[in-house]
Amino acid sequence: MSRVFITGSADGLGQMAARLLIDAGHQVVLHARNAARAEEALKAVPEAETALAGDLSSIAATVALAEQVNTLGRFDAVIHNAAVGYQEPRRIATVDGLPHVFAINTLAPYILTALISKPKRLVYLSSGLHRSGDASLVDLAWDRRPWQGTAAYSDSKLHDALLAFAMARRWPAVLSNALEPGWVATKMGGAGAPDDLQAAPKTQVWLAVSDEPSATVSGAYFYHKKPRETHPAVRDVAVQERLIEACEGFSGIRLPD
C-alpha cells in the first residue's frame, strides 16, 4: 500500500485519481483551496485519510500547506494535479502580484516540491499545449508581454514538465515524471472536450504506485501510460536550471539538494 498526496483533488481529475487509488487499497490525502472545499472533498471521498486546505495562488499559503503535509508524515508519492486553465481574459494578479496561472500552475508545484519531505515518487500533470510554451522563460510574470491566457497556460504546462525532468536529474533516488491526461470534459476542459475522461486519471495513478517496469522510470513523459515526445526544451538542463532559479527568485525558497 502506498500513501499519496494529491493537490487539487476536490473535484475533476484529482478526485478521480483519488478514487482509483483508494479502490486499489492505497491511502490518499486530498487537497482543496480552502476549508469549505476541503470539507466538500472529504464528503465526496470519505475513505480518504483527510483533506488539507491551502490556496496555491499565495506563496505563504502554499508554504503553510507544505508544513501541513509534513506534519502528517512521509508520503510515497505526490501528484501535482492542481491547475487553472487558459480562460482568464486578463492578467489576474495574486496577493504576491504574480499572474494567477503562473502562481498556481508553476510556482506552487515548485514550492511544494522544495518543502515537502522527499517522497519516493513525484508526478506532474502537464498538457499537450506545453509544446507551444515559450522556452525562453522571458517575462514569466507577464509584466511586459500583452496578456494571452492560452499562452500563459501553455507556458505553465511547459514549466511543469521542466520541473519533473529537473527533479529526476537532481534527485536520482526519487522517480519524477510528467504526463498529459488529454483534453477531457472536466470543468477546465469543457463539455465538448474529445478525449477519454475515464482514461485521463489513470496514468498519474500508475506513475504514483505501479511496480511495472515501464512505470518505475524517471525523467519521462507519458500519455495514457505510453511515452510521448515533449517540447525539446524539456530535456535541456540549462532551461531546467533557469526555471528553478526563477522560481527561487519569486518564492524566496531554495530547492534542496
Rounded to whole angstroms, how far apart are CA atoms 47 and 38? 14
Asked if residue 12 is part of any domain, the answer here is yes
User: For position 198, what pLDDT does the model report?
Assistant: 84
- Domain containing 24: what range? 3-251
Is residue 78 one of the residues assigned to a domain?
Answer: yes
* Nearest alpha-carbon partner for 250 in 84, 98, 143: 98
Question: Among residues 110, 124, 157, 221, which one is catalytic?
Answer: 157
Q: Is residue 257 part of a domain?
A: no
Number of domains within the chain? 1
Across the range 136-164, mean pLDDT stands at 97
Does 256 map to a domain? no
Known catalytic membership, residue 124? no
| Residue 20, domain member (yes or no) | yes
| Contact yes or no for 21/209 (Cβ under 8 A) | yes
Task: Supply the pLDDT for residue 30.
Answer: 98
Instruction: Give the per-residue pLDDT at 186.
Output: 61
Q: What's residue 185's pLDDT?
A: 45
- Please, which residues bridge with residue 3 across strands? 27
Distances (CA, A) of 153 to 59, 83, 129, 168: 19, 9, 8, 23
- Mean pLDDT, range 167-171, rounded to an integer: 98
CATH no. for residue 127?
A: 3.40.50.720
Residue 225 lies in a domain: yes
Please tell me the distance from the alpha carbon of residue 121 to that of residue 113, in angstroms, as a whole number: 11
221 classed as catalytic: no
CB atoms near residue 211 (< 10 Å)? 7
Q: Which is the catalytic residue, given 153, 221, 223, 225? A: 153
Q: Is residue 197 part of a domain?
A: yes
